């Protein structure tokens, strides 16, 4: 039997054993905390429990024999069974914008916020104005709230976090803050060819910016840049005035008119079908004026000008000023002209029918001994021997002129 390599006395052996046991205990505690008692698992368990309670309440309604829905009830019951034995795991979103995205990979940006905030239905309810425009599985959470999306511990994940709208507005000190936010959204979008100008319709909270109206814009710019206001006023911006008088717009349904609203109004919302202002006004080209007004009202005129220059794009013009933008009118106008022509032909047929009935009535009167208008135009058969030596013009006069005795009868028949 080999001797112990280190000759330790009892004096050193006891401290060594205590230290070793302590190291093992610390390691076990660390492993336990990292695998069982971690923050994200505690939060995830809490969310699963709450989701289970919500589903149980929903299931009671769906299982009602009178008002319930058996198919939906079966689906909820299946989800409820899963929630009773959930799998706790880290959930993350791989964000576009960095790395080798173009080569087919997802880059190095990671958003793990949904590891704790796992209830997506709850998130959608908390973001009624942004969830549809900025899906969580594409943009994540840090795009708007910032913070550390890779961290799994609450303190690190919430570092420099904008928790609510008030915090988000507080970060807006200079237009560059808004432009940086818009560029970030453009980089995260899976749609190619987008830039900051495509997202300038949104505020730093991710919600749509408010349209303030041309009256508010002109109130300041009439003094600051009168030449710009005059140039706009003298241009053909009142296009909606002409549209409203067009036949196809008047007779078209609301779905047809919405196609006109896109270019001939300002602040048109395709989802609601509503617009902020008629005609092409300031915000039709420069975008919503909420942030402009915010900087202008605080005296940051140069800052507001920066916001205009940095987000200008000719794509705004191209959305309306494109060839064949009125093709949708062709079929409508052609159908309207065809209908008008058919109505005219129908009217002519009615007139012809009335004339035919009048002719028939005149013939009936002639047969009964009366005299009608046809008498004046009817050619009489004249015997040749009775008109020998009479000129052609005289023969015509004889056909038209009648004896004096018949003129009164002709007039009576005509008036009758």
Domains of the chain: total: 1
Residue 222 in any domain: the answer is: yes
> CA 143 to CA 93: how far, in whole Å?
12
- What is the predicted pLDDT for the residue at 209? 93
Residue 238 in any domain: the answer is: yes
Nearest CA-CA partner of 159 in 95, 99, 113, 98: 113
Q: Please indicate, yes or no, whether the overall pTM of this predicted structure exceeds 0.85.
A: no
Tell me the per-residue pLDDT of 327-356, one tens digit each, with 9 for 90 and over: 777 777 777 767 677 777 777 777 777 777
Residues in the chain: 416
From residue 251, how far is each of 246, 264, 270 by CA, in Å?
9, 18, 21
Residues in CB range of 142: below 8 A, 6 or more apart: 111, 113, 148, 149
Residue 279 in any domain: the answer is: yes
Domain ranges, residue 280? 214-324
Give the residue ranges of the chain where pLDDT is below 50: 1-2, 99-102, 106-107, 371-416
Residue 366 in any domain: the answer is: no
Residue 283 in any domain: the answer is: yes
Residue 269 in any domain: the answer is: yes
């Amino acid at each position: 039997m080999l001797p112990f390599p280190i000759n330790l006395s009892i004096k050193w052996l006891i401290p060594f054993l205590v230290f070793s046991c302590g190291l093992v205990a610390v390691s076990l505690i660390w492993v336990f905390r990292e695998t069982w008692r971690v923050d994200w698992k505690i939060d995830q368990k809490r969310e699963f429990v709450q989701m289970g309670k919500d589903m149980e309440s929903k299931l009671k309604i769906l299982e009602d024999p009178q008002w319930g829905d058996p198919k939906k009830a079966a689906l909820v019951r299946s989800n409820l069974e899963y929630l009773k034995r959930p799998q706790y795991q880290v959930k993350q979103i791989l964000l576009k914008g960095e790395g080798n995205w173009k080569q087919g990979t997802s880059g190095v940006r990671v958003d793990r916020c949904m590891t704790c905030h796992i209830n997506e239905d709850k998130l959608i309810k908390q973001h009624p104005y942004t969830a549809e425009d900025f899906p969580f599985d594409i943009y994540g959470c840090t795009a708007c709230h910032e913070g550390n999306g890779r961290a799994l511990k609450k303190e690190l994940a919430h570092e420099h976090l904008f928790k609510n709208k008030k915090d988000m507005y507080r970060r807006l000190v200079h237009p560059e803050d808004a432009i940086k936010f818009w560029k970030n959204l453009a980089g995260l979008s899976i749609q190619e060819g987008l830039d900051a100008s495509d997202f300038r319709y949104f505020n730093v909270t991710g919600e749509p910016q408010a349209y303030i109206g041309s009256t508010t814009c002109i109130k300041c710019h009439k003094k600051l840049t009168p030449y710009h206001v005059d140039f706009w006023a003298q241009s053909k911006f009142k296009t909606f005035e002409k549209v409203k008088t067009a036949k196809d717009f008047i007779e078209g349904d609301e779905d047809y008119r919405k196609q006109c609203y896109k270019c001939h109004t300002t602040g048109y919302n395709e989802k609601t079908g509503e617009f902020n202002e008629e005609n092409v006004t300031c915000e039709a080209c420069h975008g919503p004026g909420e942030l402009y007004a915010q900087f202008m009202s605080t005296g940051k005129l140069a800052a507001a000008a920066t916001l205009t220059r940095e987000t200008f794009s000719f794509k705004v013009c191209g959305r309306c000023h494109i060839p064949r933008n009125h093709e949708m009118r062709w079929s409508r106008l052609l159908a309207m002209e065809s209908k008008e022509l058919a109505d005219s032909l129908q009217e002519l047929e009615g007139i012809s029918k009335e004339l035919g009935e009048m002719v028939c009535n005149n013939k009936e009167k002639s047969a009964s001994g009366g005299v009608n208008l046809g008498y004046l135009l009817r050619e009489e058969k004249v015997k040749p021997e009775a008109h020998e030596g009479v000129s052609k013009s005289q023969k015509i006069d004889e056909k038209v002129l009648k004896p004096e005795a018949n003129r009164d009868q002709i007039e009576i028949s005509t008036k009758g």
